[in-house]
Amino acid sequence: MTAARGTDGVLVDRYGRVARDLRVSLTDKCNLRCTYCMPAEGLPWLASPQLLSDDEIVRLVRVAVERLGVTEVRFTGGEPLIRPGVVGIVAAVAALEPRPRISLTTNGLGLDRLAPALRAAGLDRVNVSLDTLDAARFARLTRRDRLADVLAGLAGAAAAGLTPVKINSVLMRGVNDDEAPALLRFALAHGYELRFIEQMPLDAQHGWDRAAMVTADEILATLRTGADARTGADPRTGADPHTGASLPRAGFDLTPDPAERGAAPAETWLVDGGPARVGVIGSVTRPFCGDCDRTRLTADGQVRACLFATEESDLRGALRAGADDDELARRWRAAMWGKRAGHGIDDPTFLQPARPMSAIGG
Ligand code: SAM
């Protein structure tokens, strides 16, 4: 597909995709150390002068909303809740016209305390990351003993009306891949919407291994058989692995969700006939690049057309050199025009981006 180069109006790329969904990283720092994301000692964080100020973030989001047709703003990081100005930034973005929908992706720490203020400021909903319900496993996986705080954060978000509360889970082989059914049971019991995300080559340690990745197909199969530590069933057969006897069905009936998927990264299924749903974001095995409507702004003011882009476009430099809104919008359009057709993970020439997920904004 070809498209007319965007010189005014929306963020269109040469394949005709239009970016309406802006992901804004508020910081590259995090208060967890998930083993699949960053090393125990953390990373060389951005220095303060490199970070956009609160006002600079709001200005760039305003340009995106007023001039570039962005209708969805998602704050992320690093951990966005550790940015001191997060509530004020949300309030300023909620005051923009036309008002974008505003969400936030968080590890949930401190969310119970902050949820009412975020809701009052105009936050619409949250995605909370949670990969395990087992406290000891959580402590190993995140290198912090904080499961109870995440669960409190989830409850606090729901109580404050930041709904639907969504949970993001990454499954890793031999680490937590036996927990898919338990995570879904937990989400259903509390009215949260669960999404599993395939692990992507975006870790700081460059340890991602395609062969070890738990695929969307495997996740769905495990949910259908319900095999996990609780039932003791073999994940492939649903049978007792020692006797071969078939165990009482503990799995879920998953049927494709008739709702329009649009540009949503998650494919969703109705659970046991609905209305509850579960989603799988098969970024690697079921890529959705053709429908991608995202543009990204890093905490240091770089526009990225894709999580996996190796190029960035510097808006902070232009902004600090006195660029007006027209000029910032022009640069943003130019950056998006060059968006590649796909992330290319399966291409033999694929290169993992220099920045890890936590520094791009997941
Ligand atoms: N700190 C916030 C949080 O925990 O949600 C926001 C940033 S975090 C990088 C966003 C999401 O990216 C989390 O759900 C995390 O599990 C996920 N993530 C991190 N590294 C990943 C990887 N290599 N592949 C897939 N998802 C990843």
* Spacing, Cα 24 to ligand 1 middle (Å): 14
Mutation test of ligand 1: which of 107, 154, 286, 294 has the most ligand atoms closer than 8 Å to its C-beta? 107
Report pLDDT for 248.
56
* Spacing, Cα 282 to ligand 1 middle (Å): 14
Beta-sheet strands, E only, within 164-233: 166-170, 193-197
Q: Which two tokens stand for residue 146?
A: 């904080």
How many CB atoms within 10 Å of residue 244?
Answer: 9
Q: Does residue 144 surpass a pLDDT of 60?
A: yes
CA 125 to chain centre: 13
How many CB atoms within 10 Å of residue 202?
Answer: 21
Q: What is the largest CA-CA distance in the chain?
A: 73
How many CB atoms within 10 Å of residue 16?
Answer: 11
Closest CA to 315 of 47, 64, 44, 12: 64
Segment among 92-96, 196-200, 243-247, 322-326 with least mean pLDDT: 243-247
Report pLDDT for 258.
93
Question: What confidence category does residue 4 fall into, taking pLDDT thresholds of 50, 70 and 90?
Answer: low
* Spacing, Cα 76 to ligand 1 middle (Å): 9
User: In DSSP terms, which residues pair with 73 in a beta bridge?
Assistant: 22, 102
How many Cα atoms sit within 13 Å of 210 on the Cβ side? 10
Residue nearest ligand 1's atom 17 by CA: 362
DSSP state of 129: E
Instruction: Tell me the H-state helices in 41-80.
Output: 54-67
For residues 229 and 235, the answer to whether their CB atoms sit within 8 Å is no
Please report the atom of ligand 1 found closest to the CA of residue 30.
1
* Spacing, Cα 77 to ligand 1 middle (Å): 9
pTM: 0.93
For residues 233 and 188, the answer to whether their CB atoms sit within 8 Å is no
Residue nearest ligand 1's atom 19 by CA: 37
- What digits encode the pLDDT tens for the residues 194-208? 999 999 999 999 999
Kindly list the protein residues whose Cβ atom lies closer than 6 A to any atom of ligand 1. 30, 36-37, 76-77, 79, 105-107, 129, 168, 170, 197, 199-200, 202-203, 357-358, 362
For residues 204 and 43, the answer to whether their CB atoms sit within 8 Å is yes
| 244: alpha, beta or left? (left if phi > 0; alpha if psi -120 to 50) | left
How large is the average pLDDT for residues 191-220? Answer: 94
Could you tell me how many residues make up the chain?
362
Question: What confidence category does residue 1 fall into, taking pLDDT thresholds of 50, 70 and 90?
Answer: very low
